[in-house]
Amino acid sequence: MEYTLSLALEDFIPVIFSSIGLYFVSRMVGNINTRLGQMATIGWILVTIGGFLKATWKLVMALTQTQTNIVWFDKGMFIWMAAGFTLLAFALWLMGEIRSGKRQPNRIWLGPAIVLVLSLFAILFTGFPDTTINTWRFILLGVMTIGNVVMVILLIQQARANNQNLLAVFFLVNIVIVFILSGLARIPEQSIPLQWTEQLLNTFAQGAFAYAAWKLSGIIATSPLQVTGQARV
């Protein structure tokens, strides 16, 4: 697969948009519960690392005419993002439990720890760290996708709970485009025009996500639904 320099440079834009959006998500969670905010912040950092490593890999490939392949910048993305989206999904779910008044969660790290330990055992038994074996990457891709989808669904729920239907639509657009991109990525012949289409769609999706996360974070920070006192532990 070949990449042009302009294509590789543009790939950093959706990564930046995604990172901005996840920053606001982590800040939103932190406004409700400090410990959950820490979990979400770690998730934001991990996803951002994965995104920047992948974009950097593409840039190196473009600059060296595919002669230099830093394989772990490419394949390693799944490790960072699977862990990051898992933490973000659990942080948002537990934040919702607090805001709805259902409970004050304890042992907040137990759920994500179980998921990530099981994922670790699964990839160790399916060829990790051999990058020529696809099975372990498919496992991490599944964990990453589930975490991402759950995270966005929870954000849609929060937007609707605060009567922000337009923001809910922006989040929905983001996840729909993610699935479209997943389908486009399976096309065997990844021509330059097709890659531009994929990246521009991704840029739009992550831009919509960043905007919606920014607005929702500000709304929840001043929402009467916000729980205080015990929530900030």
Residue 61's CB: how many other CB atoms inside 10 A? 20
CA distance 193 to 165: 34
CA distance 177 to 170: 11
CA distance 109 to 172: 28
CA distance 123 to 105: 30
pLDDT of residue 66 exceeding 60: yes
Cα separations in angstroms, 132 against 72, 129, 202: 11, 9, 27
DSSP string computed for 179-202:
HHHHHHTT-S---HHHHHHHHHHH
The maximal CA–CA distance of the chain, rounded, in angstroms, is 57
Q: Which residues contact 74 (CB under 8 A, 6 or more apart)?
A: 53, 54, 57
Closest CA to 79 of 125, 136, 26: 136
Delimit the domains of the chain by residue range. 5-231
CATH architecture of 5-231: Up-down Bundle (1.20)
Mean pLDDT of 189-209: 94
Q: Length of the chain, please?
A: 233
The whole-number pLDDT of residue 232 equals 39
The whole-number pLDDT of residue 106 equals 84
Q: pLDDT by residue (tens digit) across 45-57?
A: 999 999 999 999 9
Q: pLDDT by residue (tens digit) across 7-44?
A: 999 999 999 999 999 999 999 999 999 999 999 999 99
CA distance 16 to 206: 9
| pLDDT band at residue 225 under the 50/70/90 scheme | low
Q: Are 194 and 184 in contact (CB under 8 A)?
A: yes
- What is this structure's pTM? 0.92
Mean pLDDT of 174-189: 90
State the residue for tokens 């799944």: 78
CA distance 46 to 50: 6
Among 25-39, 73-87, 112-126, 178-192, name the one with the lowest average pLDDT: 178-192
CA distance 184 to 97: 36
As a dihedral over the C-alpha atoms of residue 107, residue 108, residue 109, residue 113, rounded to 10 degrees, the angle is 100
